[in-house]
Amino acid sequence: MDKKGQMKIQQMAFVLVAMMVFFAMVALVYFSIRMSGLESSAVSLEEEKAKELVKKISSSAEFAFGVTDCPNCIDLDKVLILSERKSYEGFWQLDYLEVERIYPYGEGICDRTNYPDCKSIKIIDSENYGSAVSAFVSLCRWESSKDGYFKCEVGRIIASGEGLRNE
Amino acid sequence: MTFIKNNMNNRGFEMSFAWMFAIIVGAVVIFLAIYFTTQFIGTEREIQNTEAGKQIGILLNPVETSLEDAKIAKITTPLETRIYNDCLIKSGQSFGSQKIAVATASGVGEKWVEPGTASSFYNKYVFSDSVVQGKEFIVFSKPFRFPFKVADLLFVWDLGDKYCFVTPPQWMEEELDDLSPEGIKVVGNLEDCETLDIKVCFSTVSNCNIDVNMNAQSVKKNKGTTTVYFEDSLIYGAIFAEPDLYECQVKRLMSRTSELSALYYSKSSYVGSVGCGSSALHGNLLALSNSTSHFEKSFDIILSSFISNELGTQNRRLSCKLF
């Protein structure tokens, strides 16, 4: 085979290698963009889930105030007990879940010693959580004064979806 | 002889090494391109199916009831879709999980591929066939009370399935009449059902696909070979779900009932100390928590329902109700 022929083969080989390298680079760029898009779409799906959940959580069995027909009413006594239970860990697939009393104003995290004169009950409290969503609810509880009655106050429920974890 | 040889040489085509090299390498490049494109399409389909599974799970949230006794919604997908419904109970997991996976039909390559990665939900209970296929799905939601609200049950079927309910109880007839869910027809005689309808009979009639016995609280499926038992709104679950799936979901519901009984027991002790006495319920709350935590088969629900009914009656009598 003459030198000119060998040169042509080498040229072609180089072009092919360059083409492969080019396509590999294009694929790498595409996949890195796609992966970041996937990550953000997974996060937005989790946020969407938290939004939908926060709208409906007041009617779930563990939160609902079932004594009277009251939409968006949370049984605060039940939630206080719920916050002490470990069996519900991971159940709502959230990183943060808090029930906060807005009016009348209270201070501090609720426990059995300061309840009901407190501000909030934390049911799920991960160290790192993303953006939180909230919904207004009525917080109903048994009030022992004046011979006892069910009292409802203004509050809100705050939740944040499960973030992505490297496991 | 010389003439023939010369003639062949004149007509022959001498392929140079450069040509051979280009053809072989070109073929390899084209093969690799096709291979990676196919792989890429497969991965993209899996990603889309996984996202669709998660979205369907999220879409089911607004369908759940609040104060309503029942709710109905329709989910429409742009392409023909298969929803894979699975229920899982792992040891050490308190409430089991609802798995939802989706596969969408494609005009490129195979029409159906394996579903995307299943999304897990711990607070959902979907009753349907293990695979529901179609473009329009009906979601019917009802709360399950035992005696307090335990969860919202979701009954799913596709519009291709036509159910024919023959002489259902009056409350069910009224409920179905009010909601008018697509795909369910209520008739007085078996003859009024279409040939291809799934016939659900509530009285002893032969040639039915599903036999419901309201007195025994049981549903017979698969030509009477499988029997499952129900309580409250689980009657719809027993009708719409495959028996294995139904048993698994009921087991999950019972473990949630057990936890809720324990929660109400603690609440009762707490509010009792501040003047809202409900200690009369303690015995039955503990009994319900105990019986539902050792739940094995749907038949056990009949045994637990005695405690549940008594608990409901006791609660109604209280001046300061627990639930």
Instruction: Tell me if residue B60 falls in helix, strand or coil.
Output: coil
The whole-number pLDDT of residue A165 equals: 61
Q: What is the mean pLDDT of residues B4-18?
A: 62
What's residue B11's pLDDT? 63
Nearest-CA distance B272 → chain A (Å): 10
CA distance A2 to chain B (A): 11
Show the tokens assigned to B2.
């010389």
pLDDT in tens, A31-75: 888 888 888 888 888 888 888 888 889 889 999 998 888 888 999
pLDDT in tens, B73-109: 999 999 999 999 999 998 777 899 999 999 999 887 7
pLDDT in tens, A30-42: 888 888 888 888 8
Query: Does A77 lie at the interface with B, CB-CB under 8 angstroms?
Result: yes
Task: List chain A residues with CB under 8 Å of B150.
Answer: 61
The shortest C-alpha distance from A161 to chain B (Å) reads 12
Give me the percent of chain B exceeding a pLDDT of 90. Answer: 70
| Closest residue on chain A to B266 (Cα) | A81
Chain B interface includes A158 (CB < 8 A): no
* Inter-chain CB proximity B150 and A61 less than 8 Å: yes
CA distance B116 to B190: 40
Residue B68 has pLDDT above 70, yes or no: yes
Torsion of CA B20, B23, B24, B25, to 10 degrees: 120
Residue B1 banded pLDDT, cuts 50, 70, 90: very low
Residue B136 φ/ψ, nearest 5 degrees: -130, 125
Cite the beta strand spans of B160-256 per DSSP E: 163-166, 184-187, 198-201, 210-213, 218-221, 226-229
Residues of B in contact with A84 (CB under 8 A): 266
Instruction: State the pTM of this model.
Output: 0.86
Residue B13 has pLDDT above 90, yes or no: no
- Whether B155 and B127 have beta carbons less than 8 Å apart is answered as yes
> If you measure CA to CA, which chain B residue comes closest to A81?
B267
Identify the residue with better confidence: A93 or B206. A93
Give B 185-244 residues with CB within 8 A of chain A.
none
Most A-contacting residue of B41, B98, B259, B268 (CB-CB within 10 A), to test interface: B259
Q: Please, which pLDDT band fits residue A167 given cuts at 50, 70 and 90? A: very low
Choose the mutation target among B267, B317, B320, B321 for the interface with A, i.e. most A CBs under 10 Å: B267
Kindly state the tokens that stand for A43.
Answer: 């996060």
pLDDT, one tens digit per residue, over A154-163 is: 999 999 988 7
> What pLDDT sits at residue B8?
53
Q: What is the pLDDT of residue A13?
A: 78
Is ipTM > 0.90 here?
A: no
- Mean pLDDT lowest among A2-16, B25-39, B264-278: A2-16
| Tens digit of each residue's pLDDT (9 = 90 or more) over B195-207 | 999 999 998 777 8
Task: Tell me the domain boundaries of chain B.
Answer: 20-160, 163-232, 249-317
| Residue of chain B whose Cα is closest to the Cα of A73 | B66
Cβ-based neighbours of B37, under 8 Å, separated by 6 or more: none
Dump pLDDT digits (tens) for B219-267.
998 777 899 999 999 999 999 999 999 999 999 999 999 999 999 999 9
Closest-approach residue (CA) in chain A for B28? A16
Q: Residue B51: its chain A contacts at CB < 8 A?
A: 41, 45
Q: Which residue of B has its CA nearest to A19?
A: B29
Residues B285/B265, Cβ–Cβ less than 8 Å: yes
Which chain B residues have a beta carbon less than 8 Å from that of A59? 64-67
Distance CA B297, CA B198 (A): 25
Residues of B (83-122) whose Cβ lies below 8 Å from A:
94-95, 120-122
Q: How far apart are CA A162 and CA B140, in angstroms?
A: 27
Length of chain A: 167
The answer to whether A144 contacts chain B (CB < 8 Å) is yes
> A1: pLDDT confidence band, cut at 50, 70 and 90?
low
Residues in chain A with CB shorter than 8 Å from the CB of B55 are 45
**In the sheet that B125-127 helps form, which strands lie side by side, from edge to edge?**
B119-121, B97-104, B71-88, B131-145, B149-158, B125-127
CB-nearest to B276 from A5, A62, A142 is A142
Q: What is the pLDDT of residue A130?
A: 84
Q: What is the pLDDT of residue A164?
A: 65
Which comes out higher in pLDDT, residue B312 or A38? B312
Q: Which of B22, B29, B23 has the alpha carbon at shortest distance from A19? A: B29
B192 — pLDDT class (breaks 50, 70, 90): very high
> Which chain B residue shows the shortest CA-CA distance from A49?
B58
A21 touches chain B (CB under 8 A): no
Report residue B268's pLDDT band, with 50, 70 and 90 as the boundaries: very high
| Closest by Cα among B164, B211, B224, B170 to B192 | B164
Q: What is the pLDDT of residue B126?
A: 97
Average pLDDT over residues A9-19: 82
Average pLDDT over residues B56-83: 89
Residues of chain B with Cβ-Cβ distance to A9 below 8 Å are 17-18, 21
Query: Comparing B11-20, B159-168, B197-206, B266-275, which segment has the lowest mean pLDDT?
Result: B11-20
